[in-house]
Structure 1
Amino acid sequence: MSAQDEARGSDWYPAPLGEYAQLPQDDSCSTLEPSEQLFPLMETKLYKRRWVMLFIFSLYSMSNAFMWLQYGIINDIFMRFYSIDTLAIDWLSMIYFLTYIPFILPVMWLLDNRGIRDVVVVGSALNCIGAWIKTSTADPNMFAMTFFGQFVCSVATVHILGIPSRLASLWFGQQEVSTACSIGVLGNQLGIAIGFLVPPILVPNVDDVSELANHIRIMFYISAGVATLIFVLVVIVFQEKPELPPTQAEAQARNIPPEEYSYMASILRLLSNKPFMLLVVSYGLNVGCFYAVSTLLNRMIIEHYPGEEVNAGRIGLTIVIAGMVGSLICGIWLDKTKTYKQTTLVVYLLSLIGMLIYAFTLNLGHLWVVFVTAGVLGFFMTGYLPLGFEFAVELTYPESEGTSSGLLNCSAQIFGIIFTICQGKIIDKWGTLAGNIFLCVFLLIGSVLTGFIKADLRRQKVNHQTDVQTVSVSTSPHIVVERRGVRNHCGSGLNELLWPASLQSSCCDAWLHTSLARESKGLHRKLLTH
């Protein structure tokens, strides 16, 4: 032990992180800010089974989305079968929107306090129960019971829509999180696509009521069988989260002590976040328009092309398949560029343009034109869905992804109900062109609101600071220790330090990781203020 070490005493140890200071700017080659150099490094790992979790969730979401549209795309057939009017059949779709509003807060609480597995298990169970209830309703006098079965399935939807961004953050790395979120949304879109395509095939427009009831019963039993299989898969295979976090941002989120987290305080912070609230409104306008178009598509097509129920389903399929491609491309683009606001704004404007083109070409009398314009509309309008989720996570980190996604979807359901009812009334009185122009006005408003969103990418800031710090620490760590009025440097001048000789060779490794780990709790919140 050197004379300097003996003078300091045998009980010498590195100071706590709170006592560290920075070197003067001219004494360090690091370009990091103080808060960035003090960021705690955590062990991260990507697990192959993350893709299994995403696949199972996508199947569950697909099954539920199919049951949303299995009535609406053949609404004229169900209106005749149950002897009901257009508004009643529209409510079989709109019940999904209405149910979401009162149930989203308890489901978000469940997600934050019990975890993603419990939410997915409960949701898939409800989806299965609702599907089996509907198997007994293939009778003209059973509309009330089929509505109840649809209501149970709609409660399951509340356990779905906020999951993709949360699942992506829990399991996927920084360079794939947006793609994973897009795939999660894509599962829902695939269910909508099947909902557009399959019901017109399984339930043809026949005059014999008993034959029609048999076709409806077959469709309901297929839905119930698939929902049951998916429920079993969820219970057996689906997991809460990996042992090690996939990213530094997720690692920091895990370090928040449970006693420091307040569900209501989190919601209040989100409601006071102006950029996020602008996104909530603009997201609701865009997705609400998509819900209205999806619900009323059959009515719009049949008005101009009578007897084309099957092609109406195919047009809906075209919208969703194009949207699935758009979702995937947008997710990959975000992972590569991280241009959240720019991409969101461009896709929003293109959704508006696509809606205008669709509105003015629907009545031209050429179905192939409708297929093309509907595909363009779907590519951008559906491609917007994962963009909104991921942009919200960036604006609200480190708040729960489920909470931010839940508020986005709540806005979408509210506007979905309003737009579906209003557009339906406008179509009945003034025709499809007026109804679609009505939606275009609100897409324009949403585009303007998106332009005013301040792109404060908090999650990217944390991940970027960690990446830069890792390079800085491994190449030229300049950290200062202040203790008992003595100033010591861990950097290039190791031989002149007052550190024990035995620690000089490892001060920038062992000390850094142990001391930073002690002080990591809560530090990520302070970083966001810089």
Structure 2
Amino acid sequence: MDDPREHLLKKEVPGKSYKDYDAISPIKYVNVVTDENVEIEDHNLDTAVYHRRWYVLAIYSLLALTNTVLWNTWGPIARASEAVFGWSDSQVEMMANWGAIMYVVSSAFMSWLTFSKGLRCACIVGSILNAASAGLRCISDDPTTATWLINTAQILNGLAGPVWCAVPPVLSAAWFPAHQRTTATAIAAVSGYIGIAVGFIIGPLMVPDDELTYSNLTNSSTPDIPLTNFHVTRFQSHAAISNDTGFISETRKNIMRLMYVEAAWSVFLLVLMLAYFPAKPPIPPSVSACIGRLNFKSGIKILVRNSQFWLIGMTYFIPQGVNQCWASVLGVILKSHGISQSEAGWLGFYGVIAGTIASLTLARFSDIFSKHMKWFLLTSMVLASVFYLWFTLILNGWAPYNTASIYSSVILGGLFLMCGPPLFFEMTSEITFPVPEAVSVFFLTLLFNLSGAIFLSIQLNPNIGTGWQNWANVGCIVACIPLLIAFKESYKRLAIDEAEQKNS
């Protein structure tokens, strides 16, 4: 298990130890390199690739998936939870908003923790927060007590978010060779999106609400209540729903059963993480992984003064942050159009799965056809804007309304937009090198969640409605396309690795 599968370099380093080597923070025996034309042979370093890198990636990906499953618990079962706990639409949306708010709060600390203590320590902290978040929700099903516990759980879930959102490029730099880095980053990054997809499915499957939403309202004393005002008329028809105590009781049991399943899974993954999750391999996988990064404070100073970082950063965090929060309340958006919670869940699931497959495919192409990330990203954003515009026109009655059109527009929009994050992460790591990945990408995702928090905070106002959310989703994508065109791509880190491969 400890023997490297293959050596990329064959040089021995007499008297030199790798005990201080760290792909995240600066190391003692190698100077920082910023010149792409540096003579790599002067470093005289050996590199190796290990089988276990795939196990480390798998455990990390499962934990990232679990974090977003926990985060996306309440949106897909919004109407059932509203009936059981007495929540409004804005309270359901606040459950998602806690993730973005607490991400902003904890991002700087988690970045420092990853940079100074390493991957293992940061991921253990994130795993503990995952398990604690899932466990709190199992304590009580009393509406008042449960509401407080669930809000607290969502806060803990959000505090763990930076570990499961920003670490992928850090992990790939520490464990994977140059020709696999983007692919590894994509696998780790899309695991969070797969978690959102799982949330769309597991919630409605374990907590069905169609009978509550339609049957109870139809048989109530106010049968003509329009679905567009469900968050208001829920109180007007409260007596009819409350009288069906058997159904409410069964729904409460289903919700708690979902809580127990998610808690048991979170604890299981915590045990796996504690048992074996090394921070780094004994020998680095690439020469750029051996090169010392700037320290935490210097890295931040250089980062905020880098104009190209801000160009690529805004192209990422504005449309991606808004779109993820838009997707988390897709069920609420579609509710007024007569689309059931279950159908909205499947719609979100298909969109995320399609985007995941496309993201992995594009990442692999980027590894094979290196130095073309900008054009891959530009193409995907243009196509995403077209399909999300189509979806918005459909809901506004300006395009033919049918199930096939709704599904196609959402799925294809998600497919092309979700191609972006792994490439954005890798591009950011390339243009900001030798700023540590644990600084540049954490800062990038902090801005991503800040934009999402602003978006969800606006929609918490019940007087605004939901139509503007679709236009905001499209507008943010379109507005950032010129920024991406103006961006000047560079591959500092990759140039060093390619130079070494050529020398070898």
Q: TM-score, normalised by structure 2?
A: 0.82
Equivalent residue for 1:154, pick from 131, 154, 158 = 158
CA distance 1:460–1:359, shift in 2 (3 Å): same
- The separation in 2 between residues aligned to 1:413 and 1:318, in whole angstroms, is 23
Equivalent residue for 2:288, pick from 228, 241, 249 = 249
Higher Cα radius of gyration? 1
Deviations 1:388-412 (A, max 9, x none): 1111111111221121111111111
Q: Give the 3-state SS of the residue equivalent to 1:304 in structure 2.
A: coil
- The separation in 2 between residues aligned to 1:441 and 1:290, in whole angstroms, is 11
CA positional deviation for 1:39: 4.7
- The separation in 1 between residues aligned to 2:286 and 2:486, in whole angstroms, is 30
Asked if 2 retains the 8 angstrom alpha-carbon contact of 1:361 and 1:373, the reply is: no
- The separation in 2 between residues aligned to 1:290 and 1:108, in whole angstroms, is 24
- The separation in 2 between residues aligned to 1:198 and 1:273, in whole angstroms, is 43
- The separation in 1 between residues aligned to 2:159 and 2:123, in whole angstroms, is 12
Letter in 2 for 1:165: P
CA distance 1:431–1:104, shift in 2 (3 Å): closer
- The separation in 2 between residues aligned to 1:140 and 1:305, in whole angstroms, is 27
For 1:217, the equivalent position in structure 2 comes to 256
Matched, 1:122 2:125: yes
Q: Give the 3-state SS of the residue equivalent to 1:455 in structure 2.
A: coil
Deviations 1:102-157 (A, max 9, x none): 21111111111100100001100110011000012422222111111111122121
For 1:383, the equivalent position in structure 2 comes to 419
Asked if 1 retains the 8 angstrom alpha-carbon contact of 2:430 and 2:491, the reply is: yes
Give the share of equivalent positions with the same residue, in percent: 24
For 1:497, the equivalent position in structure 2 comes to none
Equivalent residue for 1:402, pick from 438, 443, 462 = 438
Q: Give the 3-state SS of the residue equivalent to 2:487 in structure 1.
A: coil
- The separation in 2 between residues aligned to 1:278 and 1:80, in whole angstroms, is 45
CA distance 1:370–1:42, shift in 2 (3 Å): same
For 2:330, the equivalent position in structure 1 comes to 297
Unaligned runs of 5+ in 2: 1-34, 213-243
CA distance 1:33–1:59, shift in 2 (3 Å): closer
- The separation in 1 between residues aligned to 2:36 and 2:344, in whole angstroms, is 58
Pairs within 5 Å for 1:2-81 = 35-36=38-39, 39-81=42-84
Deviations 1:309-363 (A, max 9, x none): 1111000101110111111012101101121222122222222222112212345
For 2:147, the equivalent position in structure 1 comes to 143
CA positional deviation for 1:421: 3.5
Matched, 1:190 2:223: no
Matched, 1:351 2:387: no
Range 160-169 or range 413-422, more displaced: 413-422
For 1:460, the equivalent position in structure 2 comes to 494
Letter in 2 for 1:389: F
- The separation in 1 between residues aligned to 2:325 and 2:153, in whole angstroms, is 22
For 1:485, the equivalent position in structure 2 comes to none
For 2:470, the equivalent position in structure 1 comes to 436
For 2:447, the equivalent position in structure 1 comes to 411
For 2:342, the equivalent position in structure 1 comes to 310
Q: Give the 3-state SS of the residue equivalent to 2:49 in structure 1.
A: coil
- The separation in 2 between residues aligned to 1:401 and 1:37, in whole angstroms, is 21
Letter in 2 for 1:56: I
CA positional deviation for 1:368: 2.4
Asked if 2 retains the 8 angstrom alpha-carbon contact of 1:249 and 1:459, the reply is: yes
Asked if 2 retains the 8 angstrom alpha-carbon contact of 1:121 and 1:231, the reply is: yes
For 2:28, the equivalent position in structure 1 comes to none
Deviations 1:209-251 (A, max 9, x none): 2211111100000000000110001111211100111111112
- The separation in 1 between residues aligned to 2:466 and 2:105, in whole angstroms, is 33
For 2:369, the equivalent position in structure 1 comes to 337
Asked if 1 retains the 8 angstrom alpha-carbon contact of 2:459 and 2:466, the reply is: no
Unaligned runs of 5+ in 1: 1-31, 471-530
Asked if 1 retains the 8 angstrom alpha-carbon contact of 2:40 and 2:496, the reply is: no
Moved over 4 A (4+): 427-431
CA positional deviation for 1:423: 5.1
CA distance 1:34–1:149, shift in 2 (3 Å): closer
Asked if 2 retains the 8 angstrom alpha-carbon contact of 1:112 and 1:402, the reply is: yes
- The separation in 2 between residues aligned to 1:348 and 1:459, in whole angstroms, is 25
Asked if 1 retains the 8 angstrom alpha-carbon contact of 2:106 and 2:159, the reply is: yes
Pairs within 5 Å for 1:173-184 = 173-184=177-188
Asked if 2 retains the 8 angstrom alpha-carbon contact of 1:284 and 1:409, the reply is: yes
- The separation in 1 between residues aligned to 2:252 and 2:191, in whole angstroms, is 29
Asked if 2 retains the 8 angstrom alpha-carbon contact of 1:305 and 1:365, the reply is: no
CA distance 1:380–1:202, shift in 2 (3 Å): same
CA positional deviation for 1:469: 3.1
CA distance 1:126–1:435, shift in 2 (3 Å): closer
For 2:302, the equivalent position in structure 1 comes to 269
Equivalent residue for 2:276, pick from 219, 228, 237 = 237
CA distance 1:35–1:437, shift in 2 (3 Å): same
- The separation in 1 between residues aligned to 2:492 and 2:104, in whole angstroms, is 28
- The separation in 1 between residues aligned to 2:84 and 2:290, in whole angstroms, is 55
For 2:407, the equivalent position in structure 1 comes to 371
- The separation in 1 between residues aligned to 2:443 and 2:449, in whole angstroms, is 10
Deviations 1:8-40 (A, max 9, x none): xxxxxxxxxxxxxxxxxxxxxxxx997447653
Asked if 2 retains the 8 angstrom alpha-carbon contact of 1:139 and 1:213, the reply is: no
CA positional deviation for 1:379: 0.7
